A = this chain, B = another copy of it.
Amino acid sequence: MAEGPDFSHGAAFCDGCFVPIAEAKISVLDWGFTRSDVTYDVVHVKNGAFFRLADHLDRFERSLKAFRLVSPFDRGQMAMLAAQCVVLSGLRDAYVAMVCTRGRPRVAGSRRPADCDNTFIAYAIPWIDVIPLDVQARGAHLWVAGTPRIPAASIDPTAKNYHWGDLTKGLFEAHDAGADTAVLLDADGYVTEGPGFNIFIVRDGEVLTSDRGALEGVTRRSALDVCAAAGIRARIAPLRVEDLLNADEIFCATTAGGVMPASRVNDRILTNDRPGPISTRVRELYWALHQDPQHLTPLSFENFEQPFKDISA
């Protein structure tokens, strides 16, 4: 019996074709690799529906512009291709990436970014928790890394990018110290972000998240939204390392994991070494927001040609 490709571990749109994730590859000469000249976005699918897809597409378009990349597909086509990857994979809970690389020069030998044909890749793989679920349950142990975050003047952190060398170095510092993950400061001692997540603190009942050196996370926005709706005071503000170390509670926020409480930072133990009450409340509200139809784009898993249930989407 002839069988089709196995997309169950993930499906990708790459080089103009739909392929199993194991076959989704880029050339070692693509400047997306050799110059990390690439942008991306990650949107998740929960219970068969995209969450805040329009917000992720908005940010992806802003990131493309920031790096002067032009996707060969327009917004609607990119959304369609990402949705088709999800449908092919059959994954009801998925991590869905859209990626645009600089590609390679049309003109042989050119070293000019403007001479390149940019490429678009999309893929859907099983859901990822940036902080594993068992660690989320006891609260993550954070480590303030000595490696400073790359400054915004050199690489714009609000345009999603793969310049992770500082975050990786910070992760090694954290793991060497026995912690789960890292928080990076800027050169002036202000809190920026961790490897793949925004940082929030709770102080005197108020929720605060860093105002600089960090991605403007969609999950961060959701966390601020649910706080506003629930009457929890919340705002974006400058946070110094002392604010972090003296916080009542800390939590992290990212698409790939959601709202993830911490229970330690360096040698400080927070809220009896457990996720704090406000962090836990925000986490619950965040997942409850996944019931709100205004944020959901449901998928038709039976219909590869028209993967969106609401064709006006």
**Interface residues of A, Cβ cutoff 8 Å to B:** 12, 14, 21-22, 24-29, 32-38, 67-68, 97, 99, 102, 109, 111-114, 121, 123, 125, 128-132, 147-151, 153-155, 161-168, 171-172, 175, 181, 187, 195-196
Contact = CB atoms under 8 A, between A and B. Distances in A.
A74 to B, nearest CB: 21
Most buried by B among A14, A67, A153: A153
B33 A162 contact: yes
A94 to B, nearest CB: 14
19 contacts: A22-B27, A24-B29, A26-B26, A26-B33, A28-B97, A28-B123, A33-B162, A68-B172, A111-B130, A111-B132, A111-B196, A113-B172, A113-B175, A147-B154, A148-B154, A153-B187, A154-B166, A155-B163, A163-B165
A166 to B, nearest CB: 4
A163 B168 CA distance: 13
A175 B25 CA distance: 30
Closest 8 CB pairs of A and B: A25-B25, A35-B164, A36-B36, A154-B166, A155-B165, A150-B154, A24-B28, A36-B162
A33 B181 CA distance: 20
User: Could you say how many copies of this chain the assembly holds?
Assistant: 2
Contacts of A99: 28
Contacts of A147: 153-154
A37 B187 CA distance: 22
Contacts of A112: 171, 175
A214 to B, nearest CB: 15
A294 B5 CA distance: 54
A5 to B, nearest CB: 16
A189 to B, nearest CB: 13
A172 B129 CA distance: 36
A164 B24 contact: no
Contacts of A33: 26, 32-33, 38, 162
Contacts of A165: 35-37, 67, 154-155, 161, 163
Contacts of A187: 151, 153
A84 to B, nearest CB: 16
A171 B28 CA distance: 21
A27 B24 contact: yes
A113 to B, nearest CB: 6
B22 A25 contact: no
A215 to B, nearest CB: 14
B164 A153 contact: no
Given A21-B29, A161-B165, 18 more contacts: A24-B27, A24-B29, A26-B28, A28-B97, A28-B123, A33-B162, A35-B167, A36-B36, A36-B165, A67-B165, A102-B168, A111-B181, A111-B195, A113-B168, A148-B151, A150-B155, A151-B154, A153-B187
